């Protein structure tokens, strides 16, 4: 772990400090530079003045993979670097490497940090086979706006869930796989105006500290080695040039002791923001703010020597940066053994890794609607016709999602193939209907083929290329041709089970009362087909919970559960005409945060609180009984929500403070219990003091953030 209380890290820092004392200024600055490399531009024998990748001119590589290739670069770099300091390579290993896991947003819907840790560990282990030492993950941005394409990479809209998943991912990458993790994008990158990627935001320090910083703090406390500075500006200052964000808060308040890497070209882009007048000024403001490593480009090599000579950047600051970078290299072991090997590191797409991917996928699915048609138990459907249609049903690329590193669509388990195996005694009637490549679509013909089926499984969604970086949207509807095709399917009078694969919440409003069931499978990864059939057949009862709210319409965005009340709320004041509302759409989400159905049903009863007062330094215990009242065994995640009724600054309508996930047999009950302490009630107030204020609090244990259950009250003295 990359914390100063770890003896191994202390020793790495000591060795790094000793080496820094022997290095020239030029050699130090080399360690602050990262270049992207490919076989066409890398030429160690040719020196370019414009700063292309050169041996001995950088300390890290971007997206360079392959043991033989990296060892070739390593040999040349060691020979050309006066201090023989080895290179390391960083890549975007986001949700799997060769074995593609579900996207992070899907993983968060499991509400199981262990699954996130296991998936991160597999991703890291497979990446090390290719010589990768550093991943630019996890992304811990709080995602409140589904228009923003990078919600797919997030752990959702809630700080409590995101913090748990951030910690788990960091430990999976670093402790289990042995590669550096990177918390990104620091900070408030996801709060972009209009949901438009790279856009700026205006945000109070209270919102920053209360909502957006907690997942970063959790990752730092877990020992994250690196942090990535974001593209966006916040309150008029680009984050990659903000000393307040990168030094005062990140290092001073959050206690981060690793090194900061810029996002791709973000220091150079300080000029585009109108924050730096030229390259040299961008380096002064970016490095001066706290960006240790420049991702892409030669600006540090080109301008830092002059800035040091002019006294604008101190060599002591450079020493501190290099010490942090070298300490990470010592921790990785490359300082002692610089050449990479794949021996003893396992392989790719092993049965073990596939099983982890399959388990993660099926546990991430969220059952949004079900009129009782699911599960489709194979024995009950023997001799019947099951229609299968839609662009996702026979597609192996899109379901891998955005940022799928070393993806191999040919290895994806297709829904069509898996269903043919899962229902050997049924007739699977397959037809494309509509395809992502529309020239292959045949909607009219497909409707004719499917009209005599007993049930239709329609696999719809957005293509993976519609989520991820630079894929912001103003319309979150399914593609128009899919909507029209679904209308045709509904008109057949055959029950339609709608499966939706996507990297963000899409608008489901028009399908709620028309589909017999809606199962949201996100972008599930390599084991897509098997995981889908695990759930359709009833071998696994879905238990995923939404970690991002689903809007009724795109125009609601951003919509999130822990919003403020306003002076004219839509609830609590009867017969008020002028409310904070829409005249054409409900205010709340279609599916709230924490929502997810099951094949069984759960009843929440006997809620109670241990005391109606909490003393300073004390606690109260909130509990209730959850009973499985249905006919299937199933898992439930009971969630604790707390509202601070009156504060010195306005407080959210509720906040998640914990959850308990468990499995119950039919008729079985479980007593859920949560203990709240004063620290659980604390927040950053108007004076930027972290305090729990005296007053009344309302709490409830519920199946989701919007559920109406018994509310309990206590007072903090």
**pLDDT for 6:** 87
**pLDDT for 37:** 72
At residue 342, does pLDDT exceed 90? no
- The whole-model pTM stands at 0.96
For residue 614, give Cα distances in angstroms to 364, 608, 618, 647, 690.
37, 15, 6, 17, 18
For residue 348, give Cα distances in angstroms to 49, 265, 360, 531.
40, 32, 17, 19
**pLDDT for 297:** 84
Largest CA distance in the chain: 83
Other Cβ atoms within 10 Å of 145 Cβ, number? 23
At residue 711, does pLDDT exceed 70? yes
- pLDDT (tens digit per residue) in 442-482: 999 999 999 999 999 999 999 999 999 999 999 999 999 99
H-helix or E-strand spanning residue 288: helix 279-289
Three-state SS for 691?
A: strand
Where are the extended beta strands (E) located within 581-629? 602-609, 613-614, 619-628
Q: Which residues partner with 35 through β-bridges? A: 61
* Residue among 495, 550, 491 nearest 520 (CA): 550
How much of the chain exceeds pLDDT 70, in percent? 97
At residue 195, does pLDDT exceed 60? yes
Quote the tokens at residue 570: 């839509």
Q: How confident is the model at residue 320 (pLDDT cuts 50, 70, 90)?
A: very high
Q: Are 105 and 143 in contact (CB under 8 A)?
A: yes
Q: How confident is the model at residue 344 (pLDDT cuts 50, 70, 90)?
A: confident
Three-state SS for 462?
A: coil
Catalytic residue flag (residue 263): yes
Q: Which residues partner with 550 through β-bridges? A: 591
**pLDDT for 438:** 85
Quote the tokens at residue 298: 């030669």
Q: DSSP assignment, residue 42?
A: -
Domains 7-91+132-332 and 351-542 share a fold: no
Altogether, the residues listed in the chain come to a count of 717
What would the CATH number be for the domain defined by 7-91+132-332? 3.20.20.300
pLDDT (average), residues 354-358: 98
What are the residue boundaries of the structural domains of the chain, listed by start?
A: 7-91+132-332, 351-542, 600-716
- pLDDT (tens digit per residue) in 210-244: 999 999 999 999 999 999 999 999 999 999 999 99
Q: How confident is the model at residue 276 (pLDDT cuts 50, 70, 90)?
A: very high
At residue 247, does pLDDT exceed 70? yes
For residue 349, give Cα distances in angstroms to 359, 406, 417, 551, 697.
14, 11, 18, 36, 50
**pLDDT for 419:** 98
Other Cβ atoms within 10 Å of 278 Cβ, number? 11
For residue 86, give Cα distances in angstroms to 55, 78, 332, 345, 363.
11, 6, 11, 20, 41
Q: Are 672 and 638 in contact (CB under 8 A)?
A: yes
**pLDDT for 573:** 66
682-698 per-residue burial string, b: 16 or more CB within 10 A, e: under 16: ebbbeeeeeebbeeebe
- pLDDT (tens digit per residue) in 400-435: 999 999 999 999 999 999 999 999 999 999 999 999
Three-state SS for 9?
A: helix
- pLDDT (tens digit per residue) in 33-69: 998 876 444 444 433 333 344 557 899 999 989 999 8
Q: How far apart are CA 704 and CA 546, in angstroms?
A: 9
Q: How far apart are CA 277 and CA 296, in angstroms?
A: 19
Mean pLDDT for all residues in the chain: 95
* Cα three-residue angle 546-392-500, rounded to 5 degrees: 20
**pLDDT for 346:** 81
- Between helix 480-491 and helix 443-450 the angle, nearest 10°, is 30
Q: How far apart are CA 142 and CA 191, in angstroms?
A: 8
pLDDT (average), residues 245-255: 98
At residue 353, does pLDDT exceed 80? yes
Q: How far apart are CA 692 and CA 415, in angstroms?
A: 50
Q: DSSP assignment, residue 493?
A: T
Q: How confident is the model at residue 574 (pLDDT cuts 50, 70, 90)?
A: low
For residue 398, give Cα distances in angstroms to 401, 407, 471.
6, 11, 15
pLDDT (average), residues 77-100: 92
- pLDDT (tens digit per residue) in 156-167: 999 999 999 999
**pLDDT for 575:** 67
Between strands 634-644 and 695-702, the pairing is: antiparallel
**pLDDT for 218:** 98
Torsion angle, alpha carbons of 236, 242, 248, 249, to 10: 70
Q: DSSP assignment, residue 509?
A: G
Q: 600-716 sits in which CATH class?
A: mainly beta
**Residue that is written with structure tokens 């319409």 in the block:** 553
Q: How far apart are CA 400 and CA 523, in angstroms?
A: 6
* Residue among 521, 503, 257 nearest 390 (CA): 521
Q: DSSP assignment, residue 71?
A: H
Instruction: Give phi and psi for 251, each to the nearest 5.
Output: -90, -40
250 — alpha (psi -120 to 50), left (phi > 0) or beta?
alpha
SS3 of 412-437 = CCCHHHHHHHHCCCCEEEEECCCCCC
Kindly name the residue from 263, 292, 523, 704 that is annotated as catalytic: 263
Q: How far apart are CA 475 and CA 477, in angstroms?
A: 6
CATH of 351-542, one of 3.40.228.10, 3.40.50.880, 3.40.50.1700, 3.40.50.740: 3.40.50.1700
At residue 114, does pLDDT exceed 90? yes
Torsion angle, alpha carbons of 140, 142, 147, 148, to 10: -40
**pLDDT for 317:** 98
* Residue among 382, 415, 298, 370 nearest 54 (CA): 298
**Residue that is written with structure tokens 């270049």 in the block:** 35
């Amino acid at each position: 772990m990359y914390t100063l209380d770890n003896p191994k890290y202390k020793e790495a820092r000591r060795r790094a400090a000793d080496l820094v004392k022997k290095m020239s200024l030029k050699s130090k600055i080399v360690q602050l530079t990262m270049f992207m490399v490919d076989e066409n531009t890398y030429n160690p024998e040719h020196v370019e003045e414009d700063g292309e990748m050169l041996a001995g001119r950088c300390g890290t590589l971007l997206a360079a993979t392959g043991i033989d290739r990296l060892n070739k670069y390593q040999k040349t770099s060691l020979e050309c670097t006066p201090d023989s300091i080895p290179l390391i390579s960083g890549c975007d290993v986001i949700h799997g490497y060769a074995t593609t896991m579900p996207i992070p947003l899907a993983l968060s819907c499991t509400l199981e940090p262990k699954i996130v840790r296991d998936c991160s560990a597999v991703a890291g282990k497979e990446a090390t086979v290719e010589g990768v030492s550093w991943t630019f993950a996890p992304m811990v941005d709080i995602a409140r706006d589904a228009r923003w394409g990078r919600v797919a990479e997030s752990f959702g809209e809630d700080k409590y869930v995101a913090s748990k998943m951030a910690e788990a991912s960091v430990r999976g990458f670093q402790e289990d796989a042995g590669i550096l993790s990177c918390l990104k994008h620091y900070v408030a990158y996801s709060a972009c105006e209009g949901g438009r990627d790279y856009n700026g935001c205006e945000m109070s320090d209270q919102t920053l500290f209360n909502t957006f910083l907690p997942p970063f703090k959790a990752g730092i406390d877990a020992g994250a080695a690196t942090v990535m500075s974001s593209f966006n500006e916040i309150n008029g200052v680009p984050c990659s040039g903000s000393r307040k964000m990168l030094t005062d808060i990140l290092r001073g308040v959050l206690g981060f002791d690793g090194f900061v890497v810029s996002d791709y070209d973000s220091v150079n882009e300080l000029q585009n923001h109108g924050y730096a007048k030229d390259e040299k000024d961008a380096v002064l403001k970016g490095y001066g703010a706290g960006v240790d490593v420049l991702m892409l480009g030669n600006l540090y090599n080109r301008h830092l020597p002059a800035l040091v000579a002019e006294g604008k950047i101190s060599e002591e600051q450079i020493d501190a940066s290099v010490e942090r970078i070298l300490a990470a290299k010592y921790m990785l072991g490359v300082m002692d053994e610089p050449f990479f090997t794949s021996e003893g590191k396992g392989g790719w797409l092993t049965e073990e890794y596939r099983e982890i991917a399959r388990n993660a996928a099926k546990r991430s699915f969220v059952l949004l609607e079900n009129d009782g048609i699911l599960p489709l138990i194979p024995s009950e459907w023997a001799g019947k016709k099951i229609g299968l249609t839609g662009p996702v049903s026979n597609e192996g690329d899109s379901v891998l999602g955005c940022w799928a590193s070393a993806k191999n669509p040919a290895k994806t388990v297709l829904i069509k193939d898996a269903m043919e195996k899962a229902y050997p005694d049924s007739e699977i009637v397959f037809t494309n209907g509509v395809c992502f490549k529309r020239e292959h679509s045949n909607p009219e013909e497909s409707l004719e083929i499917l009209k005599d089926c007993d049930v239709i499984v329609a696999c719809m969604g957005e293509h993976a290329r519609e989520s991820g970086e630079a894929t912001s949207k103003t319309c979150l509807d399914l593609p128009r041709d899919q909507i029209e095709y679904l209308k045709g399917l509904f008109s057949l009078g055959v029950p339609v089970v709608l499966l939706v694969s996507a990297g963000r919440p899409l608008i489901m409003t028009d399908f709620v009362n028309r589909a017999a069931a809606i199962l949201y499978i996100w972008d599930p990864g390599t084991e897509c087909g098997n995981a889908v059939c695990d759930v359709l057949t009833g071998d696994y009862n879905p238990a995923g919970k939404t970690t991002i709210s689903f809007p009724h319409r795109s125009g609601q965005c951003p919509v999130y559960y822990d919003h403020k009340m306003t002076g004219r709320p839509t609830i609590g004041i009867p017969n008020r005409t002028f409310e904070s509302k829409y005249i054409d759409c409900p205010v709340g989400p279609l599916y709230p945060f924490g929502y997810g159905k099951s094949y069984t049903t759960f009843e929440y009863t006997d809620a109670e609180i241990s005391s109606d007062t909490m003393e300073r330094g004390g606690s109260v215990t909130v509990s209730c009984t959850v009973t499985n009242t249905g006919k299937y065994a199933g898992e439930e995640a009971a969630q604790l929500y707390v509202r601070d009724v009156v504060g010195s600054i306005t407080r959210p309508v509720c906040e998640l403070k914990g959850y308990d996930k468990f499995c119950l047999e039919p008729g079985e009950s479980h007593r859920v219990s949560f203990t709240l302490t004063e620290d659980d009630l604390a927040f950053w107030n108007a004076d930027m003091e972290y305090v729990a204020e005296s007053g009344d609090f309302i709490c409830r244990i519920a199946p989701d953030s919007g559920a109406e259950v018994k509310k309990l009250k206590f007072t903090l003295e």
